[in-house]
Amino acid sequence: MFTVIGLMLGGMCIGFLLRRRQLTGIHQIITVLIWILLFLLGIEVGENRQIIEGLATLGLEALAITITAVIGSCLAAWALWKSVYKRKRREA
């Protein structure tokens, strides 16, 4: 835990020190590193027997959470849109 926090703080300090420099290609490097991390995560998940055996249950739970999150986000966006639109009508 402290290692992760230390690495994050170290990266923040280096980023702060290098903030005025133009670092070309850094986005491509970050993208490749994220792909590597996702691949390694997939290997780790594939090795875990409990996750593989419970994949159907996990998939259904993930689908239910996704659907409810999307519906909730759409309803919140709709309510915000109505609220903003109503204010603009009053101001006009």
| Residue 78: per-residue pLDDT | 96
**Residues, the chain:** 92
92: confidence class by pLDDT, cuts 50, 70, 90: low
Q: Give per-residue pLDDT as tens, 75-84.
A: 999 999 998 8
| Residue 23: per-residue pLDDT | 81
**SS3 of residue 54 by DSSP:** coil
Q: Give per-residue pLDDT as tens, 7-56.
A: 999 999 998 998 888 888 888 999 999 999 999 999 998 899 988 888 88
Rounded distance between C-alpha atoms, residue 13 and residue 30, angstroms? 17
Does residue 74 have a pLDDT over 70? yes
- Taking the chain, what is the end-to-end CA distance rounded to the nearest angstrom? 54
